[in-house]
Chain A
Amino acid sequence: MRRVRAPRRPPRPVLGSPFQISLLACSFALAGYAGVRLLAGDWLGVTLWFVGAALLHDLVLVPLYATADRAVVRALGAAGQRAAVLYVRVPAAFCGLLLLVWFPLIGGRVDRRYESVTGLPATGFAARWLLITAALFGGSALLLVLRGVRERRRRDVR
């Protein structure tokens, strides 16, 4: 009996590669040397930003866009248009990327500071982003129409 059960027991945690352990110890020591300086000011705030950035990305941003993407794939699949997914995904990804990077300017969070610091107008970022978004989706729609026309022609020729 015992002989049969023994292999089923989960293997005990082992040390692993000694090279990997010494490499990572070296890395931690350097990170620690810089880390105490990084945390010298608002240590709680910096820690929250460091860990929060990873959690926010992995547990909020990725699920958010993955769910949206899956919904689009499913909806288009149900309509028999699965091949058209890219025509939605590409413009959405590009305008989403621009929004993710430039949301302080697009959202107007820094309008007053930006104008008084740089002497440049802060208005127009949102409008330009909307125009880019319109151009991306509009271009995508145009390509879809052209594709449809081409396919219809090919069918007619046959």
Chain B
Amino acid sequence: MRELTSRLPTSPGFWRSPLRGPWLTSVLGLVLLFGVGVLFVTGLLSYAAYNPGLSPVNDKTPDKGLLGFYLFAWPTDPYWLYRLTQGVHVTLGLTLVPVLLGKLWSVVPRLFTLPPVRSVAHGLERISLLLLVGGALFEFATGVLNIQLDYVFPGSFYPLHFYGAWVFFAAFVAHAVLKVPKALRTVRTMRASRDDDLVSPRPDPPTVSRRGALWLVGGGALLMCATNAGRSFDGPLRQTAVLSPHGGPEPGTGPNGFQINKTAAYLGIDPAETTQDAWRLTVTGPGGTVRLDRAELLRMKQYSVALPIACVEGWSTSDQWWRGVRLGDLAALAGFDGHPPDVLVESLQRRGAFRRGALRANQVADPRSLLALHVNGEPLSADHGYPARIIVPGAPGVLNTKWVTRMTFGDLS
């Protein structure tokens, strides 16, 4: 009988690894406490960067209610802000995958503890753990799948990842409050208690020390970090991201050779619509409506600026040299001289969640915000938004609308 029960995972004797114990779990838990905290904050920042409060076209989670309490006008300084926060969000998330797996492995016997519920508080904690573990895996899975364009999850990425993050975070905070004091004590005293329920009562002889196990997890994290950080830079550094989307070589050579978020062909841009004869930019405002072709835009005062493209998927380019017309000058054409308002930008593209995007007054007013006609000394390529595209310092890539056809100043509806 004893032999039989010890073969069931509900018996402590079933779990044989000599590595499990409060020390390993505490160390991994404290790493996740810090890491998940950074992931949550950078994730919230990414939502704020879209300026969802500005216009419904920017907001993919309009029924957020109080969960958007912290939203603020996204700044244009520093110009690399979104490149940094979103690069950290995605690269750190990938780096933490082995830490999360290690942490879950270290506590898996607790899933099977008997009796399943010892008290009301214990029962509630176990329900909370389902939200914690399910939430963590849900967030990591949707993130990892989304950056690979594998949209198998049940719905749009934005609401799933945002609301899922709040469900996960609610359970995460409760778990942290309950466990961090003990974890800190365990790590500070550097002594693993022998009578913890995670410690196997009849352990196998060790094949690796606890420290060695930690090195294995840390090595995995280092591997993930080293093979992903390069996605935030052009040239040889990007080549180090060998298995990641937007890693490896650039899509092309020359001035327009840098990374493309979505190609012209994919978004249904018809080349016939972008010719000198066919394409016009419509600029509208209280001062009336102006229609400009590309030659007329080129006759306006041209400015140059070095800015990166930074995508929500965590990759970004190094600074590119853009040249074009200031958004502030276009606002003046629409009747706003001196104090540019918000603007609604519309693209020629047939599909895509950001066919239209709104920019806030502070973004329009920034002298570095351009309707770019050239990049790196050449006219924009079709894939980078020919005839004209928006480039705004610090903004997420999708708000740098390509193939712009209409700009409505002062009225976002």
Contacts and interface: CB of A to CB of B under 8 A. Distances in A.
Contacts of A35: 163, 167
A68 B121 CA distance: 37
Interface residues of B, number: 81
B243 A38 contact: no
Contacts of B111: 58
A15 B246 contact: no
B207 interface: yes
B163 A21 contact: no
B242 interface: yes
B220 interface: yes
B120 A13 contact: yes
A42 B155 contact: yes
Interface string A14-27: 11111011011111
Given A30-B166, A45-B155, A37 B61 contact: yes
A112 to B, nearest CB: 10
Interface stretch (B48-56, B136-144, B190-198): B136-144
Nearest to A55: B134
A67 to B, nearest CB: 12
A147 interface: no
Interface residues of A, number: 67
Interface in A100-124: 100-102, 104-106, 109-110, 113-114, 116-120, 124
Nearest to A53: B137
B108 A62 contact: yes
B349 to A, nearest CB: 13
B232 to A, nearest CB: 16
B216 interface: yes
Contacts of A109: 150
A35 B207 CA distance: 43
Given A23-B177, A54-B130, A97-B223, A13 B117 contact: yes
A128 interface: yes
Contacts of B134: 50-51, 53-54
Contacts of B276: none
Contacts of B204: 73
B160 interface: yes
A102 B246 contact: no
B300 interface: no
A101 B150 contact: no
B41 interface: no
Interface in B318-367: none
A132 B242 contact: yes
B125 to A, nearest CB: 6
Given A24-B174, A93-B220, A46 B125 contact: no
Contact of A31 (B149, B154, B170): B170
A57 B107 CA distance: 12
B145 interface: yes
B148 interface: yes
Interface stretch (A82-90, A138-146, A149-157): A82-90
A128 B243 CA distance: 7
Pick the most buried of A34, A35, A53: most chain B CB atoms within 10 A of its CB.
A34
Interface in A48-69: 48-51, 53-54, 57-58, 62
B151 to A, nearest CB: 8
Interface of A: 10, 13-18, 20-21, 23-28, 30-31, 33-35, 37-38, 40-42, 45-46, 48-51, 53-54, 57-58, 62, 73, 82-83, 85-86, 89-90, 93-94, 97-98, 100-102, 104-106, 109-110, 113-114, 116-120, 124-125, 128-129, 132
Interface of B: 61, 63-67, 94, 97-98, 101, 104-105, 108, 111, 115, 117-122, 124-125, 127-128, 130-131, 133-135, 137-138, 141, 144-145, 148-150, 153-156, 159-160, 163-164, 166-167, 170-171, 173-174, 177-178, 204-205, 207-208, 212, 216, 219-220, 223-224, 227, 242-246, 248, 251-252, 259-263, 265-266, 383
Given A34-B166, A118-B262, 6 more contacts: A15-B120, A27-B171, A27-B173, A97-B224, A113-B149, A114-B245
25 contacts: A15-B119, A16-B120, A23-B178, A24-B121, A31-B170, A34-B163, A37-B63, A37-B64, A38-B167, A45-B155, A58-B133, A73-B204, A85-B208, A94-B219, A97-B101, A98-B243, A101-B97, A102-B244, A104-B149, A116-B263, A117-B266, A118-B149, A118-B246, A118-B262, A119-B383
Closest 3 A/B residue pairs (Cβ)? A16-B121, A45-B154, A16-B119
